[in-house]
Amino acid sequence: KKDEPYVIAFSQCMMDDVWRQAMLLEMNIEASNYDNIRIVIADAKESNETQIKQIQQFIDQKVDVLIISPNQSDSITPIAVEAYRKGIPTIIVDRKIGSEEYTTYVGGDSYEIGRIAGEYASAFLPENATIAEVWGTKLSSPAQERHLGFINGLKKKNVNIKTVVGNWRREIAKKEVSQLEDFNDIDLVYAHNDVMALGAREAISERDSALVSKIIFLGVDAAFGKGAGLEAVANGLLNASFLYPTGGDQVIRVAMKILNKEQTDKKYILNTAVVEKNTARTLLLQSDQLINYQNRIEQQKRNIDMLFQKFSMLRHSLFLILSL
């Protein structure tokens, strides 16, 4: 075992998404600090069934650490608990499971994010305001918490809320919002993530392009990358977003602690912040720099690998010559 790298398996509920791409990048950046780990990722493509199968395979393979971002809490809980009971250190990231039987949890506080968003929204709302709330997948924990927090954070009474379910997806949010009968009374759109806020905005602007400038658009994530929240806030498409850190780097650090047999906390809760235009611009610059650094590190690694290969070939030739 000692000579082989540790296997850190990651059961990801979906990959095809800007926030999760940012998470992957952050994981890789942190992982490049260690040469004794191998990260193996399984993409469940938003299917509970697929995710259960993939986790089962990781259990059978006896991976050294298992990271899970569950698609829906209730469906994934039993298999996650099974992994833990079989002695595999289990890290739950982002979405939660309905059990305390895991090693550690890493993620943002979606209730707090919702609450801050509710408080923030209140400043823009007239009396008897109408809000369109665009939900993530109803059975996932961040959607439920972002909803509850928001309702409790709202300072205004008599708010009328139109509920739309966008399943965390821009296109679904767009389609569902476009099916609302009337947009004219909407004062504010609060979406459980930025891409759905953008989908909602697009639906409204396609029907009435003048209306979007009168509506406040709020999202969650503030992720970097093309089509993600930071860019949208910096460009003025969204009024604000609430940072939901991916925890990609933290998750790898915690996995290393576990592998090194160090004590870990039961929960690592990541901070949030309101991100408006100026902050978004600053964060974008920083993330560009981060991506550049990582590209350079990867280039260096490739160079080292090439040198190493050349060296092995030379050694091999030398050996052949000497043995003649």
Q: Interface with ligand FRU by CB under 6 A: which residues?
A: 14, 17, 19-20, 94-95, 136, 140, 142, 168, 193, 220-221, 244
State the pairing for strand pair 274-275/130-135: unpaired
Minimum distance, C-beta of residue 89 to ligand FRU, in the bound complex (Å): 22
H helices of the chain, in order, are 18-31, 48-60, 73-85, 110-122, 141-153, 170-178, 194-207, 229-234, 248-259, 277-322
Minimum distance, C-beta of residue 168 to ligand FRU, in the bound complex (Å): 3
Starting at the earlier edge strand, list the strands of the sheet with 37-43: 37-43, 6-12, 65-69, 90-93, 104-108, 267-270
Minimum distance, C-beta of residue 244 to ligand FRU, in the bound complex (Å): 5
Our CB check for ligand FRU shows the closer of 166 and 187 to be 166
Our CB check for ligand FRU shows the closer of 95 and 115 to be 95
Our CB check for ligand FRU shows the closer of 14 and 161 to be 14
DSSP class of residue 169 equals -
Minimum distance, C-beta of residue 160 to ligand FRU, in the bound complex (Å): 26
Q: What separation, in Å, do the N-terminal and C-terminal C-alpha atoms of the chain show?
A: 37
Please count the helices (runs of H) and the strands (runs of E) in the chain. 10, 12
Minimum distance, C-beta of residue 243 to ligand FRU, in the bound complex (Å): 10
Our CB check for ligand FRU shows the closer of 33 and 99 to be 99
Our CB check for ligand FRU shows the closer of 17 and 187 to be 17
